[in-house]
Chains A and B, each alone.
Chain A
Amino acid sequence: MMEPVIQVDELVKVYSLGEVEVHALQGISLSIERGEFVAIMGASGSGKSTFMNILGFLDPPTSGQYLLDGINGEHLSRDELAEIRNQKIGFVFQGFNLLSRTSAEENVELPLIYAGTPTSKRREMARNALSQVGLEGRFHHHPSQLSGGEQQRVAIARALVNQPSILLADEPTGNLDSKTSVEIMGIFQRLNREMRITIIMITHEPDIASFAKRNILFRDGKIVDDHVNLPLSNAVRKEVEK
């Protein structure tokens, strides 16, 4: 049996804001297999963003264990964690987080620069990734010359370019209108289906979550629901797209 790509046990995260202690995560356990498309839902303050930061090796848990591809980040240095993020994790943010005054191509090249990929290969890989998200012919456009949906697609290309184990998307449609949101979800579904990319996505919109194969609901730092979505019928999809 294949090892799960993400294995989380009794994850706890406590922030201390001065005198007050905030228990953001109160014992989360779950595993995610390769090729899953998971939507994590929950109201704001439910701990889903904290969970995402831990999954992205951006923030260490207070206690509990998290294995990504069998790697435990607990005793790794800042630089070693940066290397794991670079090799194994692709990030897509709500606010796109592209470098301004930098072309789409160069934005996508960014993880490759830090991976030490040679310049010529970098260009080729970046263009391939942009083509996968349907942005041929937009290689030299700057973020300010692109629509929101296009910017998010550049961000997805950047997350994909290093062929990571997981793609972490934090409210990827939060800044987009519903039509564009559906487009982005279409891209996610295609990447998941055709390239077997594992996607973990945070959202608070149920109709966006419905594009994922599995939905997990967070409340007050705990998982309250975890179920597999049935594939949406075309009729339902049409309804959502309206």
Chain B
Amino acid sequence: MTRLLASLRIALRALMVNKMRSTLTMLGIIIGVGAVIAMIAVGSGAKKRIAEQIASMGSNMLIVLSGSSTSGGLRFGSGTVPTLTADDGKAIANEIPAVKYVAPNLNGVAQVVFGNQNWSTVVTGQVPEFLEIREWSLSSGRPFTQQDVDGATKVCLLGQTVVDNLFGGVDPVGQVIRIKNLPMTVIGVLDMKGQSTMGQDLDDTIIVPLTTAQKKLFGMQFPGMVRQIAVQARGPEVMNEVEGQIADLLRQRHHLQPKQDNDFTVRNLTEILSTAEQSASVMSLLLGAIASISLIVGGIGIMNIMLVSVTERTREIGIRIAVGAKGRDILLQFLIESLVLSLIGGMMGIGLGVAGTLVLATFTQWPVLFSIEAILLAFLFSGSVGVFFGFYPARKASLLNPIEALRYE
């Protein structure tokens, strides 16, 4: 123990003597650890945002879109021809047992006015189940009910962005706003959802009862028309089954002949997002791996300096061996030196990484996420780099021939 403490003191003193050199050597490790921490934080941040996105969309989600249209050989995208109705939604809910919720919806862009403020936003007609599927709650007021849908009442729920743009500090609940000149009573405000993965503002929205949107705001080309039907399955394992059953059911309801194409599209949203999540994981791993390379380069820097240091101090090593230092005393002395370099570098790197990430997050609005595990891992990694790259020079020192070492100029 005494010897270990003594070795530690000797090592610290040697590092203090060459402050500039020690600092420059540490710089490699500082940058390496900083980079690892920043990259992992950015990667985990992206992953977390996608996970939140999945949660905000609701899990186990399928979206049924109305079909594409063809005009003069030109094919348009999904949803360009309205083919779905609210009754299709009801049929899915009633006839497929593995379905938990069904939410047909119809949306459009509308100008909204309150007092002397106005704002353009997406207005979506929904059924009450919508809030359950999206796991969306209200920050104030009340949700609308089935009665509101049945009666096509003129009520609406506002997203936070709309509230911010129309009401400066006024409590919106109970106020009357005009959507496409139609007076509507605000009955509630939706919780903040933030941005989607694509950077879309999820809070820039107004929700109204489906029938209100159909009959009073956007009109219908045919009775009960909806643009999409959101379907939530009971679990991830029945997703494919439900997807097939919806297709069968809708083909039957739309009287499609066996050779005819579907006039609708069923999309598995969760799958798309989990793919995105997976690629974010891979990305995160890749970034971490690239950053680790700089840590290894830092380690080589330590090795280089330790080799120089061993050569420079050959005479000192000779004196120590002559007065009775054993191989392991010398080994330990130099190993501790490189370990101290890399651990102090690691600690400073953690500081640099955290600070750098925060600055990056502030300027780029990227989501970042620090984890204790990642920080500990980077720190331990830097320590092992110190031991690994310090071992060779330390061993070289411990094996020096004392006679030659004492004669070294």
Q: Do A and B interact with each other, yes or no? A: yes
Return the contact of A114 from the options B318, B329, B406 (Cβ within 8 A): B329
Please indicate which of the listed interface residues A53, A82, A98, A118 has the most CB atoms of chain B within 10 Å of its own CB. Answer: A82
Q: How far is the CA of A237 from the CA of B358 in the complex (A)?
A: 79
Q: Does B323 sit within 8 A of A, measured CB to CB?
A: yes
Return the contact of A110 from the options B5, B318, B319 (Cβ within 8 A): B319
Minimum C-beta distance from A158 to chain B (A): 7
Return the contact of B323 from the options A59, A86, A117 (Cβ within 8 A): A86
Q: Does B215 sit within 8 A of A, measured CB to CB?
A: no
User: Known interface pairs A114-B320, A118-B2. Does A58 touch B326 (Cβ–Cβ under 8 Å)?
Assistant: no
Minimum C-beta distance from B36 to chain A (A): 35
Residue of B nearest to A117 (CB): B2
Contact A85 B403 (CB under 8 A): no
Q: Does A93 sit within 8 A of B, measured CB to CB?
A: yes
Q: Does A47 sit within 8 A of B, measured CB to CB?
A: no
B-contacting residues, A83-101, CB 8 Å = 83, 85-87, 91, 93, 97-99, 101
Residues of A within 8 A of B17 (CB): 101
Residues of A within 8 A of B321 (CB): 82
Q: Does B227 sit within 8 A of A, measured CB to CB?
A: no
Contact B327 A111 (CB under 8 A): no
Q: Does B194 sit within 8 A of A, measured CB to CB?
A: no
Minimum C-beta distance from A135 to chain B (A): 18
Q: Does B289 sit within 8 A of A, measured CB to CB?
A: no
Mark each residue of chain B from 136 to 148: 1 if its CB lies under 8 Å from any CB of chain A, else 0: 0000000000000
Q: Does B3 sit within 8 A of A, measured CB to CB?
A: yes
Contact A82 B326 (CB under 8 A): yes
* Interface SS, B side: helix
Minimum C-beta distance from B18 to chain A (A): 10
Mark each residue of chain B from 1 to 25: 1 if its CB lies under 8 Å from any CB of chain A, else 0: 0110110000001000100000000
Contact B323 A83 (CB under 8 A): no
Return the contact of B324 from the options A83, A118, A119 (Cβ within 8 A): A83
Residues of B within 8 A of A18 (CB): none
Contact A97 B3 (CB under 8 A): no
Q: How far is the CA of A101 from the CA of B15 in the complex (A)?
A: 12
Mark each residue of chain B from 304 to 323: 1 if its CB lies under 8 Å from any CB of chain A, else 0: 00000000000110111111
Contact A56 B316 (CB under 8 A): no
Q: Does A137 sit within 8 A of B, measured CB to CB?
A: no
Contact A97 B315 (CB under 8 A): yes
Q: How far is the CA of A87 from the CA of B326 in the complex (A)?
A: 13
Contact A114 B2 (CB under 8 A): no
Mark each residue of chain A from 66 to 107: 1 if its CB lies under 8 Å from any CB of chain B, else 0: 000000000000110011011100010100011101100000
Contact A58 B403 (CB under 8 A): yes
Q: How far is the CA of A83 from the CA of B327 in the complex (A)?
A: 11
Q: Does A232 sit within 8 A of B, measured CB to CB?
A: no
Residue of A nearest to B319 (CB): A97
Q: How far is the CA of A219 from the CA of B315 in the complex (A)?
A: 29
Contact B324 A86 (CB under 8 A): yes
Minimum C-beta distance from A77 to chain B (A): 9
Chain A residues in contact with chain B, CB under 8 A?
53, 56, 58-59, 78-79, 82-83, 85-87, 91, 93, 97-99, 101-102, 110-111, 113-119, 158, 162
Chain B residues in contact with chain A, CB under 8 A?
2-3, 5-6, 13, 17, 315-316, 318-329, 402-403, 406
5 inter-chain pairs at a CB distance below 8 angstroms, sorted by A residue, are A82-B324, A82-B325, A113-B6, A119-B2, A119-B5
